[in-house]
Amino acid sequence: MMQDTAVQSSGTSTITRRLDLSAGPWATTNWIVLGIALLAMLALPWLVIQLSIGRFILHLLILFFVWSIVAQSWNLVMGVAGIFSFAQLALFGIGGATTGALALHLQWSPWVSLWLAPITATIAALIIGLPTLRLRGPYVVLLTLAFHELFRNFHTQGPTWIAGGGYGLRGVPKFGLEDMLGNDVGRIAYYYMAFVLFAIATYVIWRIFHSPIGVSFYALRDSETYAISRGVDPFRFKMLLFGLSAFFTGLAGGFYIHYNGNQSPAILSFSIMINLLAGIVLGGWGTFFGPILGTGIMTVLPELMREVENYRNLSIGVILALLAIFAARGLGPMIAAGVRTLSRAGRPAEPPPKGKEGEYAAKGRR
């Protein structure tokens, strides 16, 4: 009896090891790879700044970090929880307008006012979420789009302290890093600041993806009836995710306005919204790495196409269409599947488990 129990536990542990291996490397933290990537990211700006276009490349990297935070946060709402919200850019603008107005008109230090940006964006998200998250489907889209348009019109035609006569907030105090450290080192300091914000947001989102809360969000997206039967409160969980997404989006908006020194109403344009959404879909809707990869492509691709300015938008559209056809799930899942295939090809086959599990496996092979 004890021998049978030991054999069964041995077979179960072998199956568990197989499941763990098949789930890697995305579900576990590889600290060696993470450490190498961190060192590379820390050394990168010092190498890039030596180039003749080094400052411009650093500018693109900073924009990549900012928009990656927004794309990941939006992906949490739309791709993971299945909430078809189009209020993300408005929350980004609310965060920027909050800290920008405080620093510009009340002479607050940007280092202090910055932290009110995510708080204000979160409060706005919870207010809009109270009626919105009780609805479904197209009604959520319509209500969040209405909220976006309402804020865009307010930012364009509202009081001078926020609309600036239709030009938005101009002359917003920056963090002053370039004044303190010089142009090159100051740009590197902005890079590090954006990278830290990006790393914090990415880690929190990664923890959500690989946690019971993340499983609850997937369940709500795929089968709300089943999720409710397992004790998941749809409204509470959706409000939690909506608020968390708005927090990081507002933080990105606050950093953006103090980095640029202005916030134009054009930041709320439909074209920017479509570019963000295209990056999420292109990289992989509902995946962890997808929005990061897609944002990187959508940041670099327009700059690479500047040589064909007259055909740039057409060329980008054709490239995105081809990628959508040949990588329908997104580039992220396609690359991940390729990595898994290569890792399995180089791994020796494990012997079948002993005991009953091994007998069943042998019968299955026959």
d(CA 62, CA 254): 14
Domain locations along the chain: 28-267, 269-358
| Whether the predicted pLDDT of 11 surpasses 70 | no
Give residue 306's pLDDT band: very low, low, confident or very high (50, 70, 90): confident
Q: pLDDT averaged over the chain?
A: 82
Mean pLDDT of 114-136: 91
Beta bridge partners of residue 262, listed in sequence order = 170
Confidence grade of residue 127 (pLDDT, cut at 50, 70, 90): very high
Proportion of the chain above pLDDT 90, given as a percent: 35
Q: Which residue has the higher pLDDT, 306 or 354?
A: 306
How far is it, in rounded angstroms, from Cα 117 to Cα 202?
19
Q: How far apart are CA 320 and CA 166, in angstroms?
A: 33
Q: What confidence score (pLDDT) does residue 352 get?
A: 56
Q: Which residues are within 8 A (CB) of 243 and not within 5 positions of it... i.e. 6 or more apart?
A: 122, 125, 126, 129
Q: What pLDDT, on a 0 to 100 scale, did the predictor assign at position 246?
A: 94
Using the predicted structure, report yes or no on whether residue 25 has a pLDDT greater than 50: no
Q: Is the pLDDT of residue 19 over 80?
A: no
**Surface-to-core class of residue 108, CB atoms within 10 Å of its CB (0-12 exposed, 13-18 middle, 19+ buried):** middle
pLDDT digits (tens, 9 = 90+) for 159-216: 888 877 778 888 899 998 888 888 889 999 999 999 999 999 999 998 888 887 778 8
Is pLDDT of 366 > 90?
A: no
CB-count exposure of residue 264 (10 Å: 0-12, 13-18, 19+): middle
CB atoms inside a 10 Å sphere around CB 17: 12
Q: Per mean pLDDT, which of 28-37, 103-112, 314-323 is the most reliable?
A: 103-112
pLDDT at 91 over 90: yes
From 53-67, 125-139, 252-266, 299-313, the region with the lowest mean pLDDT: 299-313
Measuring CA to CA, how many Å separate 226 from each of 78, 79, 216, 234? 19, 19, 10, 11
Predicted TM-score (pTM) of the model is 0.83
Which residues have a Cβ under 8 Å from the Cβ of 239 and sit 6 or more positions away?
126, 129, 130, 133
Is residue 131 within 8 Å of residue 74, measured between CB atoms?
no
